[in-house]
């Protein structure tokens, strides 16, 4: 007790603070989400996410080489497909020559050591903007799972290291594990979006992929029948444990900063790595406030990433990955 113990002794200067620091960050802690579009030598900045682009495969590959040189070792990739390829079955999702499959092959050919985790969900391919197949005014769980298996196997055939199901269908991890194993892809991992909340923080992401649910009477108006209620905590632990039992190699909590209590709860409950998605809305808020001079961009960025790591994240999927890696390398 005071005066024998003085906490400030361990805060006297930066050298002492660094000696006793409990949490550290490195570029290898980050995964960079990337948006891929059709075309060649094409890129367009996403207006609600300054500094983030939809890029054609050739430019995506160059970006992958750059971030690998910074020490980032994983990318989570998403595609914006043409409207004429969308339907209610999602069949373009497992086209062996589809945009996602071609992107996986190109990234692995150019940078074999980069870990590629393609998104597994039907919303980019759906005329309705939902993560699954619509039937009887609802997202049909089991037929969606069957489609997701075909999608995941096609990703594995293209060279994916992990598949990343973000759909939140019941039982999809088990079906994906069975499907991948049956196709001979025993070593392709599953990073499951286990605790994915129905959050308003996803708005800029949906701008990026044009994947928001359409306004139609024959479908659910939002994703709340499969994404989780943000008032719930115990449900997140249950979902994560189920996914681990079904074969998930990693579990994810999404969003990040507003859900750090969930990150810690899940970390304490499971025996696999926990990924946290620092989502588009969280990114956009920092960018907007920094542009107005209300916040110090780099300090807030690094504080938030450190807090996510401190809460229990083994891997952070963040749009700040490149900027943070540059700062850390300095």
Query: Is 326 buried (19+), middle (13-18) or exposed (0-12) by CB count in 10 A?
Result: middle
Beta strands, E only, the chain: 30-37, 43-45, 53-55, 74-80, 115-120, 133-135, 138-140, 162-165, 189-196, 250-254, 274-278, 315-318
Active-site annotation holder among 254, 267, 287, 309: 254
Beta-sheet pairing, 53-55 with 43-45: antiparallel
Taking the C-alpha atoms of residue 329 and residue 5, their distance in angstroms, rounded to an integer, is 36
Residue 254 known to be catalytic: yes
**245 in a labelled binding site:** no
Q: Where are the alpha helices (DSSP H) in 94-171?
A: 99-110, 141-158
Sign of CA dihedral 33, 188, 164, 40: positive
The single residue of 108, 196, 267, 322 carrying the catalytic annotation is 196
Told to judge if 267 belongs to the known catalytic residues of this protein, a careful annotator would answer no
**Active-site amino acid positions:** 196, 254
Query: Which residue ranges make up the annotated binding site for Mg(2+)?
Result: 239
Query: Which residue ranges make up the annotated binding site?
Result: 239
């Amino acid at each position: 007790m005071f005066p024998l113990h003085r906490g400030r002794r361990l805060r006297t200067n930066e050298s002492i603070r660094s000696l006793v620091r409990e949490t550290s960050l490195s570029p290898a802690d980050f995964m960079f989400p990337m948006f891929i579009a059709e075309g060649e030598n094409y890129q367009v900045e996403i207006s609600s996410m300054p500094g983030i682009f939809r890029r054609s495969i050739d430019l995506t590959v160059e970006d992958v080489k750059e971030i690998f040189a910074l020490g980032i070792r994983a990318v989570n990739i998403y595609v914006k497909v043409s409207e004429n390829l969308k339907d209610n079955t999602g069949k373009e999702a497992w086209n062996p020559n589809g945009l996602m499959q071609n992107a996986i092959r190109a990234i692995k050919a150019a940078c074999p050591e980069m870990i590629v985790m393609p998104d597994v969900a039907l919303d980019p391919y759906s005329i309705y903007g939902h993560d699954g197949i619509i039937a009887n005014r609802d997202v049909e769980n089991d037929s969606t799972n069957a489609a997701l298996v075909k999608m995941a196997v096609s990703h594995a055939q293209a060279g994916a290291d992990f598949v990343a199901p973000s759909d939140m269908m019941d039982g999809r991890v088990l079906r994906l594990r069975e499907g991948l194993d049956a196709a001979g892809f025993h070593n392709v991992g599953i990073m499951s979006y286990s605790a994915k909340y129905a959050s308003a923080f996803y708005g800029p992401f949906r701008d990026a992929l044009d994947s928001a649910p359409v306004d139609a009477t024959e479908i659910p108006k939002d994703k709340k029948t499969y994404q989780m209620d943000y008032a719930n905590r115990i449900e997140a632990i249950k979902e994560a444990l189920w996914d681990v039992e079904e074969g998930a190699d990693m579990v994810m909590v999404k969003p990040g900063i507003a859900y750090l209590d969930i990150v810690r709860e899940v970390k304490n409950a499971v025996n696999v790595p926990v990924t946290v998605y620092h989502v588009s809305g969280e990114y956009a808020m920092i960018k907007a406030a920094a542009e107005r001079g209300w916040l110090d961009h780099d300090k807030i960025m690094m504080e938030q990433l450190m807090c996510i790591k401190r809460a229990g994240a083994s891997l952070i999927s963040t749009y700040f990955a490149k900027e943070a890696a540059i700062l850390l390398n300095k």
